[in-house]
Structure formats: structure tokens, C-alpha cells
């Protein structure tokens, strides 16, 4: 099988890119087959996705992202493959889905810098094609359930149109209520999905950690950022995520054993130096934290952990918690519509139970 016609090599000399020593970069794809790409799969794969309408601007942004990333000190021993820039068009969508599904199936952790369209539907399709039902976490100020321009190309529009696709669960982090209509908020809540607002996230960012442990792929839309990280005036917002919060969330994602796809999506083809460095630092935190994963539940038996059973007089039943003393992470048992499940939680959820209260996170899942 020939290599993808839509995959462009990384021009490291032309763009002044000096990769880390543990990074294999494809600088010439003329004699590389799909089988070669598959054979060379490494624990981490870096890929940029280009906007077909403005290819040169997209290539320039992808090169800046790589230059900033590789300028940072390498703190990982994982081998990394940088396979190049994928030119996404309606005709190349199937090839993109095939590439993602193979990398995911080979357990490579995918870092995607996206300057193209919304990739959530295509990546979700890739998971479905290998019989995985992924949990998606979207970092975005907008829910975008019902696009104002009635676009049929958004994730939710395409999901509703495809009867074969099922949604396991969907989180939205850093939501800003004034960007979303009452109908969107009502639909989101009635569907049993979960939104963590910007204010609540800022008050206690650790609330996002159990969400990342539930997540399979993380999609970060840069319009969730605060201030002047983008040089495009239309996207400069007085409220939004700060740089340290973005890096904190990326670290949570890197530590989450089941999360293997991190997409940074920036649709505007202008950027500031602060923006490109922040995106590089977010990718750095994700990549570096991969080496700190513990292989925790459900990848090891929960019986290995400390178990706590507390009686709640509010609901007249026991609440069961588990704690891994090595990582200090917590889980609890919840009777859900899928039966009794052990789900990630926080120490604060446990602490509330010791005080006779039941946390909102537990009520979100429970079916009594």
C-alpha cells in the first residue's frame, strides 16, 4: 500500500526545527509505505492537521508549534514519532480515520496540533471502527450543540445524523454560560452529560482530575483561552483559561491511564508568540506525564487498594470508597444505570461522606 498522498513531511531544516534525540521525524515520505508507518509505531506519535484552504499558513503554524515544543527540555524516555502534516479534505477523511484508528489500536499516544475543522467526529469514528466506545472530554467555552449557522459539519450535527454511532459519555470543561443558549444548556443537562464551568474549575481545578481518568480522548479548543494568546482580535476573551490552568489540565491528561489522544485545535491562522509557546508547553506536560502513569484501576484490580465503607444516614445505605496510597487517587462505587460501577472521584468526595454528606459527583451517576 502506498503512503498517504495527504501526508506531508516535516521540513526541519527549512523551518529551523531541532527535534529531541528520542524523536524520529519523517522528513521524506516519498518511499515510505503505510506498512512502514505502522511498523515504526512508538509510544507517542505527533501529527499536525492542516487546513486545506490556507495550507501555507497552516504549515507555518505547525512548524512554529514543533519549534517551540522541541526547544523545551526533553524529560521523557519514551520514543516519539513525528509523522508529519496531514492535509485534511473531504476526500482524505477516510485516510485520516484509518491512520488514527491504527495508532490508537497500537496503543500509541497521539498528540495532534489541528488547524483544520472540528476533528471530534472523525476521531470518534476511528474509535468506533476498532470497537471502542470512547469517553470524550472537550475543553471549550462553547457547547456548540446547535450551531448558529446550522452547519452540518460539527461533531453534534454529524453524530445526530449517524444512527450507527453511540456516545459513551461526554464532558465539557471551562464552559462559559453566556456563550450557550438556554436550549443548549437544557439539552446538555437532560441528556445526562456533564459540564464543568470555568468558575468552578478555577475554584478547584482538581475537580477535573477524575474527569481525565474517565476520558479516552481530550479535545482542547483554544477559544477557551483568556486574553491575548491569539493574535486574532475576534478570539481575544476577557474570561477564559489561564496558561497555568491549561498546563495543569494537560498534566492530568498525561497521568490518566486510559487517555491516549490529545488534540489541540486552533482554527484561526494567526497566533502570538505566547500562544505558540503555551500550546507547546501543554503538549510537553502531556508527553512528559505519560511516563508517570501508574497503570491503576481498571488496569489493575481495585482490591489492591485501601477500602473504606461509610454509612450515609441521608440515603440510608453504605458508600464504598477506594484509595491508592501510592498515587493518593480515589474511586467510589456507584449504582448506575449500567449496574454497580467503580468510578474515579476525589478526596473531597470521600471527605464529604465522612461528614454525612453525599457529593454531587456521586449523585450525577447514581440510579437508586
- Residue 268 has a pLDDT of 67
Pairing mode of beta strands 261-265, 194-197 = unpaired
- Residue 201 has a pLDDT of 96
- Residue 228 has a pLDDT of 65
- Residue 2 has a pLDDT of 45
Enter the pTM of the model: 0.94
- Residue 5 has a pLDDT of 81
Let me know: does 259 contact 214? Beta carbons within 8 Å. Answer: no
Written as one string, the DSSP assignment of 306-355 is: EEEEEEETTTTEEEEEEEETTTTEEEEEEEETTEEEEEEE-HHHHHHHHT
Q: Which of 44-58, 182-196, 212-226, 262-276 has the lowest mean pLDDT?
A: 262-276
Q: Is the pLDDT of residue 273 over 80?
A: no
Average pLDDT on 113-117 reads 89
User: What's the mean per-residue pLDDT of the chain?
Assistant: 90
The tens digit of pLDDT for each residue in 224-254 reads 999 766 555 566 778 999 999 999 999 999 9
Peptide bond into 329 cis (omega under 30): no
Domains and CATH numbers, the chain: 7-290 (3.40.800.10), 302-365 (no CATH)
- Residue 130 has a pLDDT of 93
- Residue 176 has a pLDDT of 95
- Residue 263 has a pLDDT of 97
Q: Is the pLDDT of residue 129 over 70?
A: yes
The residues near 334 (Cβ < 8 Å, ≥ 6 apart) are 340, 341, 342, 343, 362, 365, 366
The tens digit of pLDDT for each residue in 172-203 reads 999 999 999 999 898 888 887 889 999 999 99
Return the SS3 of 75: coil
d(CA 156, CA 121): 8
Band (pLDDT 50/70/90 cuts) for residue 168 is confident
The residues near 35 (Cβ < 8 Å, ≥ 6 apart) are 1
Average pLDDT on 209-237 reads 83
- Residue 309 has a pLDDT of 96
Band (pLDDT 50/70/90 cuts) for residue 367 is low
Q: What is residue 299's DSSP assignment? A: S
Q: Is the pLDDT of residue 77 over 80?
A: yes
The residues near 310 (Cβ < 8 Å, ≥ 6 apart) are 318, 319, 320, 321, 353, 354
75 vs 337, more confident = 75
Is the Cα dihedral 87, 92, 93, 99 positive or negative?
Answer: negative
The tens digit of pLDDT for each residue in 328-341 reads 999 999 998 888 99
Number of H helices, E strands in the chain: 12, 14
Nearest to 254 by CA among 205, 299, 289, 305: 289
- Residue 232 has a pLDDT of 55
Amino acid at each position: 500500500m502506498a503512503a498517504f498522498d495527504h501526508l506531508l513531511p516535516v521540513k526541519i531544516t527549512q523551518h529551523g526545527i531541532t527535534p529531541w534525540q528520542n524523536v524520529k521525524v519523517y522528513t521524506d515520505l516519498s518511499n515510505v509505505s503505510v506498512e512502514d508507518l505502522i511498523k515504526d509505531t512508538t509510544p507517542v506519535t505527533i501529527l499536525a492537521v492542516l487546513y486545506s484552504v490556507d495550507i501555507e499558513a497552516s504549515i507555518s503554524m505547525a512548524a512554529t508549534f514543533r519549534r517551540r515544543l522541541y526547544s523545551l527540555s526533553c524529560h521523557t524516555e519514551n520514543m516519539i514519532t513525528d509523522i508529519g502534516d496531514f492535509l485534511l479534505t473531504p476526500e482524505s477523511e477516510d485516510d485520516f480515520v484509518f491512520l488514527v484508528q491504527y495508532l490508537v489500536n497500537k496503543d500509541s499516544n497521539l498528540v495532534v496540533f489541528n488547524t483544520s475543522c472540528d476533528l471530534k467526529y472523525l476521531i470518534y469514528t476511528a474509535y468506533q471502527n476498532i470497537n471502542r466506545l470512547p469517553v470524550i472530554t472537550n475543553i471549550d467555552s462553547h457547547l456548540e450543540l446547535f450551531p448558529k449557522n446550522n452547519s452540518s459539519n460539527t461533531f453534534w450535527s454529524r453524530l445526530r445524523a449517524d444512527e450507527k454511532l453511540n456516545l459513551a459519555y461526554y464532558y465539557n470543561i471551562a464552559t462559559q454560560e453566556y456563550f450557550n443558549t438556554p436550549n443548549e444548556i437544557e439539552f446538555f443537562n437532560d441528556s445526562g452529560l456533564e459540564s464543568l464551568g470555568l468558575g468552578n474549575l478555577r475554584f478547584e481545578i482538581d475537580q477535573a482530575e477524575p474527569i481525565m481518568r474517565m476520558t479516552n480522548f481530550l479535545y482542547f479548543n483554544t477559544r477557551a483561552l483568556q486574553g491575548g494568546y491569539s493574535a486574532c482580535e475576534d478570539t481575544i476573551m476577557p474570561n477564559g483559561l489561564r496558561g497555568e490552568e491549561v498546563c495543569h489540565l494537560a498534566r492530568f491528561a498525561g497521568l490518566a491511564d486510559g487517555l491516549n489522544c490529545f488534540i489541540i485545535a486552533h482554527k484561526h491562522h494567526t497566533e502570538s508568540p505566547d500562544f505558540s509557546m503555551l500550546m507547546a508547553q501543554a503538549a510537553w506536560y502531556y508527553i512528559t506525564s505519560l511516563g508517570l502513569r501508574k497503570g491503576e484501576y481498571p488496569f489493575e484490580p481495585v482490591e489492591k487498594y485501601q477500602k473504606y465503607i461509610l454509612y450515609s444516614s441521608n440515603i440510608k445505605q453504605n458508600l464504598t470508597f477506594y484509595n491508592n496510597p501510592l498515587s493518593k487517587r480515589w474511586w467510589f462505587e456507584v449504582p448506575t444505570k449500567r449496574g454497580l460501577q467503580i468510578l474515579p472521584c476525589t478526596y473531597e468526595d470521600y471527605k464529604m461522606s465522612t461528614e454525612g454528606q453525599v457529593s454531587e459527583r456521586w449523585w450525577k451517576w447514581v440510579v437508586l
